[in-house]
């Protein structure tokens, strides 16, 4: 039991460490500023896109390298079109109303932006609360629509992970070069 708790605590600590690093990089990159996010939505400032694509590229290669060396076991959660629609609606309404996503709200609160603290934190709590209340009714009906299980692109194409990771990584890298 002690070993299981130690492993769980270790995961929490690593999650906290990487969360702090990610938040620091979001803040240093300017992604917590309302003007930068608005510029992204208006397609005039690609700062947020560059940060997120860099994070996807780094995370994708890092996770699959860890997996290849047996350091992690990836266990994707099952998904569905219904889940994506409901999640997208909740995310989109919050983003449209305030101009922040959950990650940038946390960074903006850290910067001391009162709109993120009041509206953003309230929005996260209200959105999570509504979802929790509605979940029992959504689960059997809407959330099961278009269930695709824990399917990933390598599983879909029945290929080794790297057959998908390498071309996607090259595509993202080229896209990052073009966005500069």
Enter the pTM of the model: 0.78
CA 159, 163, 167, 168 dihedral sign is positive
Q: What is the band of 4 on the pLDDT scale with cuts at 50, 70, 90?
A: low
Q: What is the mean pLDDT of residues 104-120?
A: 87
CA distance linking residue 97 with residue 35, whole number of Å:
14
Residue 16 phi, psi dihedral angles, 5° rounding: -65, -45
- Residue-wise pLDDT for 135-164, tens only, equals 899 888 888 899 988 999 999 999 999 999
Which tens digits make up the pLDDT trace of 83-96? 899 888 888 888 88
């Amino acid at each position: 039991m002690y070993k299981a708790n130690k492993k769980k605590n270790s995961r929490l600590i690593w999650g906290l460490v990487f969360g702090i690093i990610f938040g620091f990089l979001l803040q240093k990159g300017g992604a917590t500023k309302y003007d930068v996010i608005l510029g992204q939505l208006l397609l005039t400032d690609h700062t947020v896109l560059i940060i997120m694509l860099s994070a996807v590229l780094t995370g994708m290669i890092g996770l699959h390298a860890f997996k290849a060396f047996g350091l992690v076991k990836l266990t994707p959660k099952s998904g569905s079109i219904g889940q994506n629609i409901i999640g997208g609606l909740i995310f989109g309404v919050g983003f449209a109303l305030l101009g922040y996503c959950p990650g940038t709200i946390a960074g903006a609160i850290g910067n001391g932006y009162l709109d993120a603290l009041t509206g953003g934190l309230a929005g996260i709590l209200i959105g999570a609360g509504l979802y929790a209340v509605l979940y029992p009714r959504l689960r059997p009906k809407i959330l099961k629509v278009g269930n695709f299980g824990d399917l990933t692109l390598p599983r879909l194409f029945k290929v080794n992970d790297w057959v998908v990771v390498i071309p996607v990584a090259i595509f993202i890298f080229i896209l990052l070069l073009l966005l500069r």
